[in-house]
Amino acid sequence: MNRPVQQDMLGRTLELAAAIMSKRDVDSILRTIVDDVTDSFGFEACDAFLLDEEHDNFVLRATKGFPAHIAKKVEGLAKSKKSVKDDLAVCRSIGKLTYLFMAKPEANGTDYYSVLHPDRVRLPREHEDDWHELDVLYVAFEDADGNMLGFLEPDGPRSGKLPNEALVANLEVFARMASIAITNARLVSALNRTVKLFRALIDTTVAMQQPLDLKQTLGVISEKLNDLVPFDGVSVYLVDWNRNLLVPIHATGPYADEVMSDRGPISGLAGEVARLGKVEVVEDSMADPRVEDIPGIEDIEVRQTMMAIPLKGKGGVEGVLELYRDKSRKFTPVEVAVVEPFAAHAAIAIENARLREELKQNFESVQKAYEDIQDLDKMKDSLVDTISHELRTPLTTILGYLEMASAGMYGEVTPKMNEKFGSILDQVNRINALVSAMLEMSRLQKKTLSLDFEPINVAMVTREVVDDLGNSIKSKNHAVTILFGNELPIVQADRLRVHDVIDNLVSNAVKYTNPGGKITIGADILGGKVHLWVRDTGIGIAEEDKDKLFDRFFLADAGLIREDGRVGIGLYTSREVIKRHGGEMWFESKKGQGSTFHMTLPLKQK
């Protein structure tokens, strides 16, 4: 439905949308949206609901303009998908995303969860275009596939009139842009959670490889797990099947001492989990008969929600991990899914600790434990591959619609709109580049990366890279010198991959050299290969980081931080690509004095 748009308001709408696009936190986006609707679109109040996919309902996540007692009353309000669908079914569609419910004369307000002006509820609608206190306006958020992400309920137009076509049109533009921002934020959030999980899994794996005793290892696992699934207390029991005993080996929380003294038979909730080998979640510890009293706190009423997870080793269930927190903070299905990999870590940690104690008598068992750790590393690689593939399709869809919109396929694009579209596209491309890099790494790991060899001039490719990075170089006022012309020999190589490798080396030099630095690119023939090197006057690399610099997911501490969204795979993939060409990559560096990265490419492919 095409509607007239107020050009002055459209500009403001796009400015508001661009501000939303710059945010990456969903709640921050929703708070900004309700602020914008009330401050810039002429409404007294606004609610924002977002789909909770875990519970399949819409939850009130942001509100503004309502009296404090009403805002407090509706905090966390949830509406089922069916009820929202039923509401929209009786509304009048005034746009693709905008719907209006006009209150009937006999309505009395009892079916409404909040009203701005209770004194106006029973007043009649004097004119047909007047806004009535019990009218409801819905503005939906939809993803690229038309699925409803959430909706706004703007209330109390300051004009006292029903929204006109121009206002509806601007709300529609705003809603579309807000939908993209919400989708992007969810994608970024999912990616951040995944990267955080990878980091925690890697840290835990590293901790398990250290010569720590069982208590220290479990302490590390508990710490990492609490970063992802916050809890108030944790208990870990070993199962002694021969003696029918649950033996506490680790506990935190207010009753840790009592838990550590609670050695008893394999019974209750922990016993059931140990026998069945399945995760169990208890919403109220006082209401579940399987939760046994702990000696020393029998007379204390402690209402908690609990999660009990079996620790499965090679010989079956070897222990039980129990998490506790306040009853009001129930464990979600997502949290259960996050905890289960850590349970596998904990089981292996227990096994490794026992093996370390028996190292002199059973070397073969220690070797087996190491192989198990290698299996975990493969699991992590598989997870990276799966998540990257799952993100590719929605990212491609978002990027496609943005490019079509910016190209004017959905209407005229003003210079100001084009500028905003450019900013949005930059952010989506940034996420897309990260996903592409992770997929490239996965193909290298699986040895499925196919190279397209052709004659290329490394000198010309290098100059293309420097030209592409011109804006970055200029913004940091670097002096870049290329010490060769086009006289380098032609090599057989994959042009795209070689371009990416050189881009990675030069862009790293640009990033990690302070403004006004010098970057020199040289080349010669070394051992029958074209030898290219990139030298900078940057921050250099610490000695303790040099051995790990080409490792996956590694970022050195010396300024190599994650503010640009990287996950530390650029140098890893670059070196692997060069190896696939039959070349080599290495570096020289001194902290505070700069670095030189080298790469070679054979003159002929065998």
> Is residue 194 situated within a structural domain?
no
Higher pLDDT, 293 or 523: 523
Higher pLDDT, 438 or 340: 340
Which pLDDT belongs to residue 558? Answer: 40
Domain harbouring 275, CATH code: 3.30.450.40
CB atoms within 10 A of CB 427: 17
> Is residue 305 situated within a structural domain?
yes
Listed residues 341, 357, 373: the one ending a domain: 357
What's the CA gap between 204 and 339, in Å, rounded?
A: 13
Tokens at 316, concatenated: 């079956």
Task: State the pairing for strand pair 585-590/453-456.
Answer: unpaired
- Dump pLDDT digits (tens) for 69-91: 888 888 888 899 999 999 999 99
Q: Which residue range(s) make up the domain with 402?
A: 359-449
Does the pLDDT of residue 514 top 70, yes or no? Answer: yes
Does the pLDDT of residue 326 top 70, yes or no? Answer: yes
**DSSP secondary structure of 376-396:** HHHHHHHHHHHHHHHHHHHHH
Listed residues 357, 380, 408: the one ending a domain: 357
Does 282 share its domain with 387?
no
Nearest Cα to Cα of residue 506 among 476, 485, 526, 530: 476
Does 444 share its domain with 460?
no
- Dump pLDDT digits (tens) for 429-477: 666 566 666 656 555 565 666 788 999 999 999 999 999 999 999 999 9
What's the CA gap between 132 and 124, in Å, rounded?
A: 8
What's the CA gap between 183 and 186, in Å, rounded?
A: 5
What's the CA gap between 11 and 4, in Å, rounded?
A: 14
Does 313 share its domain with 165?
no
Tokens at 604, concatenated: 């002929």
Nearest Cα to Cα of residue 542 among 558, 530, 528: 558
Listed residues 133, 155, 180: the one ending a domain: 180
What's the CA gap between 250 and 260, in Å, rounded?
A: 7
Does 120 share its domain with 32?
yes
Does 475 share its domain with 545?
yes
Domain harbouring 393, CATH code: 1.10.287.130
> Is residue 317 situated within a structural domain?
yes
- Dump pLDDT digits (tens) for 206-243: 665 665 677 777 777 777 778 777 888 888 898 889 99
Indicate the helix (H) or strand (E) that contains 265.
strand 264-265
Give SS3 for 114.
coil
Higher pLDDT, 167 or 366: 167
| Residues in contact with 392: Cβ distance below 8 Å, sequence separation at least 6, in sequence order | 435, 439
Number of helices (H), then strands (E), in the chain: 16, 20
Does 385 share its domain with 428?
yes
User: Looking at the 3D structure of the chain, how many domains does it have?
Assistant: 4
| Residues in contact with 517: Cβ distance below 8 Å, sequence separation at least 6, in sequence order | 476, 478, 479, 536, 537, 538
Does 468 share its domain with 598?
yes
What's the CA gap between 229 and 200, in Å, rounded?
A: 12
Indicate the helix (H) or strand (E) that contains 123.
none
Does 427 share its domain with 407?
yes
pLDDT confidence bin for 559, thresholds 50/70/90: very low
Indicate the helix (H) or strand (E) that contains 92.
strand 92-93
Tokens at 459, concatenated: 């000198």
What mean pLDDT, rounded, does the chain reach?
80
Percentage of residues of the chain with pLDDT beyond 90? 27
Which of 117-121, 138-142, 214-218, 329-333 is most confident? 138-142
> Is residue 219 situated within a structural domain?
yes
| Residues in contact with 174: Cβ distance below 8 Å, sequence separation at least 6, in sequence order | 13, 16, 17, 36, 37, 41, 139
Domain harbouring 462, CATH code: 3.30.565.10
Tokens at 260, concatenated: 């550590």
Which pLDDT belongs to residue 588? Answer: 93
Residues 420 and 17: beta-carbon distance below 8 Å: yes
Does 492 share its domain with 403?
no
Q: Quote the pTM value.
A: 0.42
Does 62 share its domain with 117?
yes
Does 413 share its domain with 268?
no
> Is residue 205 situated within a structural domain?
no
> Is residue 121 situated within a structural domain?
yes
Which of 28-37, 57-66, 562-571 is most confident? 57-66
> Is residue 198 situated within a structural domain?
no
> Is residue 186 situated within a structural domain?
no
Does the pLDDT of residue 565 top 50, yes or no? Answer: no
CB atoms within 10 A of CB 445: 18
Does 85 share its domain with 223?
no
| Residues in contact with 262: Cβ distance below 8 Å, sequence separation at least 6, in sequence order | 248, 294, 295
